């Protein structure tokens, strides 16, 4: 009998048939809630399920390419699996898989000195458990095909009111997607006995955006005016990813398909960047400002915005 471990470099995670890169940590979990059934004169008889069965998958990843998971905020479900022990002959490659996973939270976080990260969570309303390669619960597919690029703080562009001399040092944008499983009373004949008949997405989707700004001459909003009315100027931002692709810049003011040219009639080329994440543009709905200072620290302000997407 062999006693082997399962190191992380042997793990491959697939979701929706596509391999996911840049994972820092990944967890599969579930909790089964049970309640006791008591009867007069007999005491405890048995325990029964007190809630619907539901699993959870969460992961943190480095943002190193255009993220496909952000497209899962809609109503579609996905299947996936993690392959482990892929190099061990005895196991023939084992998997932990799941079905009917729905994205419930997604956030992008960036700060000075760190690689941007993505945190996301899925609720699982179908099966979740162990299997073997090419068997049940194996939903592996193709390796990632995206161009990978490592992002530093110079590739993060944020346009913020009063941002000329006031420095943005951190931002995050998160989406909270509430899923509502619907169950019916029909006779169950399939193996997915406890699975919901339908999973609805409760709208609107709540979006939260946070900024931390080092203050030079920044002026805070007025509590009774700006925050009550929700008036705030447009904020834009994006995270760019360096690539080896060098393309001409399109001339949007002239003939469609033409490139911009310099004084020597040479095509003006871009710097070889692709947009890895675009802020969902918004204005207004400033809900919180917090000004902080401390010994050996700088004067900073934290701003929080709430918006809702249909």
* pLDDT for 238: 78
Per the structure, the count of domains in the chain is 1
Q: Assess contact for 60 and 117: CB atoms under 8 A.
A: yes
Tokens 């899962």 label which residue? 72
Residue 1 lies in a domain: no
Q: Domain range holding 209?
A: 8-309
Q: Assess contact for 116 and 82: CB atoms under 8 A.
A: no
Write out the H or E segment, with its range, that includes residue 29.
strand 23-30
Residue 173 lies in a domain: yes
- The pTM (predicted TM-score) of the whole model is 0.79
What is the distance between the alpha carbons of residues 191 and 207, in angstroms, rounded to a whole number? 37
Q: Assess contact for 133 and 94: CB atoms under 8 A.
A: yes
Residue 2 lies in a domain: no
* pLDDT for 147: 65
Listed as ranges, residues in the chain with pLDDT below 70 are: 1-4, 50, 85-93, 144-147, 152, 160-164, 187-194, 222-235, 242-273, 281-284
Residue 272 lies in a domain: yes
The string of DSSP codes covering 36-77 is: EEEETTTEEEEEEE-S---EEEEEEEE--S--SGGGGGSS--
What is the distance between the alpha carbons of residues 30 and 124, in angstroms, rounded to a whole number? 9
User: What phi and psi, each to the nearest 5 degrees, are found at residue 226?
Assistant: -65, -45
Residue 119 lies in a domain: yes
> How far is the first Cα of the chain from the last one, in angstroms, to the nearest whole number?
56
Residue 222 lies in a domain: yes
SS3 228: helix
Residue 122 lies in a domain: yes
């Amino acid at each position: 009998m062999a006693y082997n471990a399962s190191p992380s470099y042997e793990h491959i995670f697939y979701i929706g048939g596509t391999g996911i890169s840049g994972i820092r940590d990944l967890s599969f979990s579930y909790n089964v809630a049970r309640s006791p059934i008591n009867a007069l004169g007999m005491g405890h008889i048995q325990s029964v399920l007190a809630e619907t069965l539901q699993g959870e998958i969460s992961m943190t990843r480095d943002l190193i390419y255009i993220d496909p998971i952000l497209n899962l905020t809609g109503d579609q479900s996905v299947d996936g699996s993690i392959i482990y022990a892929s190099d061990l002959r005895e196991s023939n490659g084992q998997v932990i898989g799941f079905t009917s996973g729905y994205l419930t939270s997604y956030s992008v976080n960036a700060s000075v000195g760190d690689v941007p990260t993505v945190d996301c969570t899925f609720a699982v309303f179908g099966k979740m458990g162990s299997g073997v390669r090419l068997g049940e619960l194996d939903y592996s597919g193709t390796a990632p095909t995206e161009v990978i690029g490592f992002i530093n703080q110079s590739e993060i562009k944020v346009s913020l009111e009063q941002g000329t001399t006031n420095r943005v040092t951190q931002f995050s944008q998160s989406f909270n997607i509430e899923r509502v499983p619907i169950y019916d009373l029909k006779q169950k004949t399939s193996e997915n006995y406890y699975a919901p008949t339908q999973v609805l997405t409760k709208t609107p989707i709540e979006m939260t955006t946070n900024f931390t700004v080092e203050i030079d001459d920044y002026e805070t909003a007025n509590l009774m005016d700006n925050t009550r009315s929700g008036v705030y100027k447009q904020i834009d931002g994006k995270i760019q990813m360096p690539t080896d692709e060098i393309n001409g810049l399109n001339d949007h003011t002239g003939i469609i398909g033409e490139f911009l040219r310099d004084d020597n009639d040479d095509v003006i080329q871009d710097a070889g960047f692709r947009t890895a994440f675009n802020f969902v543009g918004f204005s207004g709905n400033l809900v919180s400002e917090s000004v902080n200072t401390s010994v050996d620290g700088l004067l900073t302000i934290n701003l929080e915005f709430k918006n809702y997407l249909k």
